[in-house]
Amino acid sequence: QLPREVFLAFAAKSLRTPWRVKIGPFWACLWNAFKASTSSRSTRKSLAKSKVLPPHRDRRNLRKAVDEVRKFAKEIIKEKKQLLNEKSEIDSFDLLSRFLSSGHSDEEFVTDIVVSFILAGRDTTSAALVWFFWLVSNHPDVEKEILREIHEKSEAPIFEEVKDMVYTHASLSESMRLYPPVPIDGKESTVDDVLPDGTFVKKGTSVVYHPYAMGRSEKIWGEDWSEFKPERWLERDHDAAGGEGKCNFVGRDPYAYPVFQAGPRVCLGKDMAFLQMKRVVAGVLRQFRVVPAFEDGKGPVYVTVLTARMDGGFPVRIERRA
């Protein structure tokens, strides 16, 4: 039987949403909020010099979409509270259960937490995984090494095993160097400031940085910047006799690799994102081979909204490993 062609998509469900919540409409609201936010941002820039912003359709749409997102988030919280009240002890280790069980009773605060984790983690993690599988499927040597590492662990790897998957960690870091989930980002100065090189930054100035361009900079990554090389993130130990030992992951300066931002504003979910992605990679590649299935030999098209996506999704054939 020929493998069935599917579109590969990922959505990290770290909150373990109760089954009674209608998750389809929730994701639809999230997508509407993303679109409205992007449109509203453009409108604000064009009207930035106005002392009073007039009512605008995009702003109304954004408020409506945000209200719907928060409504669904509160429904998730309500369902989770009911489940926790029905049980004498917690048998779930998801984030929402932990927050509610630790005594956080402020509904607005918990709602903010739920929305923040979904917005910050869902699209970025799924975008990163799609580009990762595209790159790995085109580099069999990398896939072979990842598989070797996966088979050294149990079928359902525990935290310590996942943490020890250094080659997979390096491969994910390398794929996000070439295809960062957030390709462009920026900050706004709240006070007058001076950068380390002496550049004066006036209060209210927008400072934009470009992780996509930085990840492809020869000045930062060398002449082989275009190559997908997980090894650039690894360093091997040597014993007293000069023999090779265990590989260790070697992180880069976050200001040269700002995929997770840097400094005081570094992404709080970075470690959780890597944990989720490595678990997904181990679960998929242990059992299946992911084969690109673009029509007529066409490759992927890189598009950006708020996150970097593959235009039209990633069409693949899923082949079960022998």
Amino acid at 238: H
Q: If you average pLDDT over each of 117-131, 201-215, 254-268, 308-322, which comes out highest? A: 201-215
Amino acid at 249: F
User: How many Å apart are CA 35 and CA 197, to the nearest integer?
Assistant: 37
pTM strictly above 0.85: no
- Bridge partner residues of 319 (DSSP): 289
pLDDT at position 76: 82
Domain map (residue ranges) of the chain: 140-320
Which carries the bigger pLDDT value, residue 180 or residue 21? 180
pLDDT tens digits for range 194-251: 988 999 999 999 999 999 999 999 999 999 999 999 999 999 876 655 556 688 999 9
User: How many Å apart are CA 228 and CA 215, to the nearest integer?
Assistant: 11
pLDDT at position 121: 66
Categorize the per-residue pLDDT at 40 as very low, low, confident or very high, splitting at 50, 70 and 90: low
- Bridge partner residues of 234 (DSSP): 249
> Which fold does the domain 140-320 belong to in CATH?
Cytochrome p450 (1.10.630)
pLDDT at position 175: 98
pLDDT tens digits for range 48-92: 444 455 455 666 777 777 788 888 888 888 888 888 887 756 555
The annotated binding site is made up of: 267
The annotated binding site for heme is made up of: 267
User: How many Å apart are CA 284 and CA 290, to the nearest integer?
Assistant: 9
CB 13 within 8 A of CB 280: no
pLDDT at position 31: 66
The label of the residue with tokens 């929402």 reads: 96
Q: DSSP state, 8?
A: E
Tell me the two tokens of residue 56. 């605008």
Q: Over range 121-149, report the average pLDDT.
A: 92
The label of the residue with tokens 């149990």 reads: 154
pLDDT at position 17: 46
User: How many Å apart are CA 239 and CA 261, to the nearest integer?
Assistant: 35
Percent helix, strand and coil across the chain, each to the nearest 5: 50, 15, 35
Q: Over range 176-198, report the average pLDDT.
A: 93
CB 262 within 8 A of CB 4: no
Average pLDDT of the chain, as a whole number: 81
Amino acid at 160: E
Which carries the bigger pLDDT value, residue 286 or residue 9? 286
- Bridge partner residues of 238 (DSSP): 244
User: How many Å apart are CA 278 and CA 12, to the nearest integer?
Assistant: 12
> Residue 41 pLDDT more than 50?
yes
Angle (nearest 5°) at CA 210 between 37 and 42: 25
